[in-house]
Structure 1
Amino acid sequence: MSKGCTFYFVRHGQTYFNLYRRMQGWSDTQLTPEGREDVRRSGRGLADVKFDAVYTSDLNRTIETGGIILEENHAAEKLQMQAMPEFREVFFGSYEGLDIDEVWESINEVMGFPTVAELWAGSSIPEQMDATKKADPYHHAEDFLEFWLRLEKGLLKLIKTHRDTGDNVLVVAHGNTIRYMLNGLIPELENPQPLLNASVSKVSYYDGRYHLKSYNQIEHFKDLEKD
């Protein structure tokens, strides 16, 4: 078996649009104080991992999250974060900033399920993304192919750089980006649950395949030790 490499995919901390339950996508709202603290707790739990490279999307919420994790990892002066637009969140077009529940009701008008809960249970991620583009009055929302082609470019860059190095690679991205990506890469990961803020999903890549080690983990969160 080759040395491969290991990816630590971390979702950014809670933002104000997360708190207000708004469609976020490419909208760039700031982390809440609670979001920053959860990122620190996540970073403390990763403090013993020696990262060899760090990537984020080019949106501020992932860049700030990555910086906090590196501070807790005592690697802020050793590693240079690389921002990559390929790892942005899904773009929701004219739905950006709108109430999440209202948007999904609009999407379900296209999909035709009795309830939104049945939509989530009875349709695939590609089907949901394609319906979002169709439901968007401007049709600017990304469908699955548009999203995947963008994401794949970023993944190929990472694999080209880190394959067979044994590197630990931190990738700070977004809830849907990570979830949809892993759903496409890991055959056994069917209908993955939405990711928690600051959670870690660990994936090893070797012999040309992705192997899931953990998904949506927050058990590593570590509070600041008190004197």
Structure 2
Amino acid sequence: MSLYFVRHGQTDWNQQGKLQGRSDIPLNAIGIQQAKDTSRLLKDVSIEKIFCSPLTRAMQTAAILQEVTKCDIVYDDRLKERCFGDLEGKKMNTITTYLWDFQALPCPHAEAMLAFFQRVQEFLKEITTDLRTHDYLIVAHGGVYLPVHEYFKGLQREQDLMKIVPKNCTLTKFDASLSILV
């Protein structure tokens, strides 16, 4: 069976190029429409359960997707975006080289990269035994996609990780082969 991953829809901070992290920013009108568009891709997929970050932008996206999947949503703190501490709210283009550096010390009040990956992958270990018989959907964040991708497909931590972060409301399917559906 498969694990599907959807990054939340667009927020005003996404549109403005600001780093969100744990800042609880809601979807904007474009993000709501993106979620509706993505929900159409799930109409023929039998999702057993949606696992979702408890941040508003992910919860709003999951609620829209649930209208099509008709399954329960389970919220899990381990799917929250990485805490970027004092960098949250700053423009991404001024700080991106620092964001995903595994060797760098975290900026003040931020979550270390390795701790973030461990947190998300601990969650994945719990649910992957059920993937043999069920299809699940994770609705979370661009940063959360990185440890999910590493868990299923491997990841070279030296590469520019920002290049593999999916766009808002991209649907990715993890199974024997990685396929990006939107």
Structures share fold, TM-score greater than 0.5: yes
Divergent runs of 4+, >2 A: 102-105, 129-132, 187-194
How many matched pairs?
178
- The residue that corresponds to 1:35 in the other structure is 31
Matched with 1:55 is: 51
Deviation at 1:171, TM superposition (A): 0.8
Aligned match of 2:169 in 198, 203, 209? 198
Shifted more, 16-25 versus 190-199: the winner is 190-199
Q: Select which of 172, 175, 178 maps to 2:139.
A: 172
Map residues 174-189 of structure 1 onto 2, 5 A cutoff. 174-187=141-154
Amino acid at match of 2:137: L
Superposition TM-score, scaled by structure 2 size: 0.87
1:9 to 5, 26, 51: 5
Contact kept in structure 2, 1:202 and 1:214, CA below 8 Å: yes
Asked whether 1:89 is paired with 2:81, we answer yes
* Offset, 1:188: 7.2
Which has the higher Rg, Structure 1 or Structure 2?
1
TM-score (norm 1): 0.71
Decide whether the 8 Å contact of 2:47 with 2:135 is kept in 1.
yes
Using the TM superposition, give the Cα deviation of residue 184 of structure 1 relative to its aligned residue in structure 2, in angstroms: 4.6
Change (3 A) 1:74 1:195: closer
Percent identity between matched residues is 26
Task: Summarize the Cα distance change of 1:6–1:185 in structure 2 as closer, same or farther, 3 Å threshold.
Answer: closer
Task: Determine the C-alpha separation between the residues in 2 that align with 1:141 and 1:60.
Answer: 20
In 2, the alpha carbon distance for the partners of 1:16 and 1:145 equals 28
Structure 1 gap segments, 5+ residues each = 109-124, 205-210, 219-227
Q: Which runs of 5+ in 2 are unaligned?
A: none
Contact preservation (8 Å) 1:130, 1:143: no
Partner of 1:115: none
Tell me the distance in 2 between the aligned counterparts of 1:36 and 1:30.
10
Task: Give RMSD over aligned pairs.
Answer: 2.2
